[in-house]
Structure 1
């Protein structure tokens, strides 16, 4: 901040502060003539430039509004398309889940049926194998019994027992 003490002598030496209303000393008349001439002669030139600039700005604004309206319409159309696509994607996803669930249930059903068939086949195979083994054991037991009987028979059969066995066999054949 400048101290006021050096300014006070400067202002006092010039006689103070005041306004000069003399039109010839202040060149107000010359300035008025120059400004009026500029306004008169440049009005058409500057007015034309300003009018062309105003028209260009209005055309740019109109073009921008048209592009904004077109962009808004395109955005609305794209948003509708997006909503349709999302709905279609949701339907496809739901259909896919339903189809996957149906396939899973069908697969489980086939697996259970296949397991039941395999269990039944194995039980059948087990029964047939048991029957085969039982028949083989019977044949083997019969063969062993016959061999044992044939081995012990000559020592047990004397002439009298042999005659009795032949007579019984003939009688059983005659009764049949």
Structure 2
């Protein structure tokens, strides 16, 4: 501190006192220089610093607004996505329910179709059995008739003599003649 007052006092003794000059005593001049520099910086830098701070403030506010807008948009997209998810889940549940009911319907259709097919096969089997029974009955009848005919022919041939044979032929010829006259 003594140096500071000495430096001011020494200015009065110098012959060029009151004029501008450089003081090379660093300890004496440093607080004065600093106060002058700080004063100049405050005076001239106040506007620049204020502008820089205002610009920074505006950028921060703009970033906050943009973030809010993005958050709002993201929230809206999230709500839409949640709504779509709910809709898709409902559709999936509906498809699942419809799928189960469709499976049940197909199952019953298959059961009914199989039942009808079995019923048709049973009817076809019964018809085949009746047909085969009728064919067997017809074969038996034919065989019995053939045996009866052979027996009757055998009996006729053994009992038939020439006179009876001629009488039968002439009777049949007479019947054919009468039939010819009736139709003719």
Q: TM-score, normalised by structure 2?
A: 0.67
Could you tell me how far apart the structure 2 residues matched to 1:125 and 1:39 are?
A: 122
1:82 paired with 2:85, answer: yes
Could you tell me how far apart the structure 2 residues matched to 1:62 and 1:123 are?
A: 89
Which structure has the larger Rg over C-alpha atoms?
2
For structure 1, list consecutive stretches of 5 or more residues without a partner in the other structure. Answer: 1-19, 163-176
Q: How does 1:85-104 map to 2 (within 5 A)?
A: 85-104=88-107
Could you tell me how far apart the structure 1 residues matched to 2:76 and 2:160 are?
A: 125
For structure 2, list consecutive stretches of 5 or more residues without a partner in the other structure. Answer: 8-25, 165-184
Aligned length: 140
1:52 to 50, 55, 71: 55
Could you tell me how far apart the structure 2 residues matched to 1:42 and 1:133 are?
A: 130
2:35 to 32, 37, 48: 32
Could you list the structure 1 runs, at least 4 aligned residues long, displaced by more than 6 angstroms after superposition: none
Q: Which has the higher contact order (CA 8 A, sep 6+)?
A: 2
Could you tell me how far apart the structure 1 residues matched to 2:126 and 2:48 are?
A: 113
Could you tell me how far apart the structure 2 residues matched to 1:28 and 1:137 are?
A: 149
Q: TM-score, normalised by structure 1?
A: 0.70
